[in-house]
Amino acid sequence: MDSNTPFSIKFWADDDKPREKLVLKGKEALSDAELLAIIIGSGSRNESAVALSKRILAHVNNNLTALGKLNLKQLTTFKGIGEAKAISIIAATELGRRRRAEEAPNLVKIISSKIVFDIMQPIIGELPHEEFWVIFLNNSNQVLHKSQLSKGGITGTVVDTRLVLKMALEYNAVSLILVHNHPSGKLKASDSDIEVTQKIKLAARQLDMNLLDHVIITEKGYLSFVDEQIF
């Protein structure tokens, strides 16, 4: 296509050019498609970057979380998206995920299971595999530290109770909260989940520490052992 035809971006009004629109009106004025168009940089001979972005977003029902789950191979199936553009999209969505994870303040006070969900969902809620984490709290129920203990599954052999308590002592923790995710989306505690919880609860009690809760996280919801009176 001739770059001097009206289809060329150089003929668009500034309001229709994503970069110029961001400068003139601010980032909040841009649609998701326009922001994605800035990331991928350009479209093809027959499709603008904005139109290409709209097509990609339509494929994931305009859900940015679903966009972030697309891998390199899936992204490059879109006509107009090569490896370089796909990598740019993956990098941008990963930065967004990490930003959400950092927004939870380190010394937030845990006063409900919902706060545990708000802290941990950005970290493990969208993972394709299980991870087991422990949140260590001071005597005011403020978060001292949170640490991943294992990946891949929750069983008595994978979760090392001694390591949990060793870390608790290192951080001078008074109480603990266990957290793990269910990639399946099912909010139901398994027998292994309950067994591990009871084991750590009893061991912590020997060191005058309290296990306050065990929270199972999914992409959109959570289950609290305390709220459900599981232990």
Tens of pLDDT along the chain (231 residues) come to 444 444 455 555 444 689 999 998 888 889 999 999 999 998 888 899 999 999 999 999 999 989 999 999 999 999 999 999 999 999 999 998 888 777 655 578 999 999 999 999 999 999 988 999 999 999 999 999 999 998 876 554 468 899 999 999 999 999 999 999 999 999 999 999 999 999 999 999 999 999 999 999 999 999 999 999 997
187 occurs within a structural domain = yes
Tell me the CATH number at 22. 1.10.150
Residue finishing a domain among 69, 102, 135: 102
Q: Is the pTM for the entire model greater than 0.75?
A: no
Do 146 and 94 share a structural domain? no
189 occurs within a structural domain = yes
User: What pLDDT does 152 receive?
Assistant: 78
User: What pLDDT does 104 receive?
Assistant: 54
Do 211 and 138 share a structural domain? yes
Q: How many domains does the chain have?
A: 2
Do 158 and 125 share a structural domain? yes
Do 85 and 41 share a structural domain? yes
107 occurs within a structural domain = no
Do 125 and 42 share a structural domain? no
User: What pLDDT does 5 receive?
Assistant: 46
Residue finishing a domain among 102, 124, 159: 102
Do 175 and 147 share a structural domain? yes
Tell me the CATH number at 124. 3.40.140.10
Do 117 and 98 share a structural domain? no
108 occurs within a structural domain = no
d(C-alpha 109, C-alpha 143), whole Å = 6
Per the structure, the complete domain to which residue 81 belongs is given by: 9-102
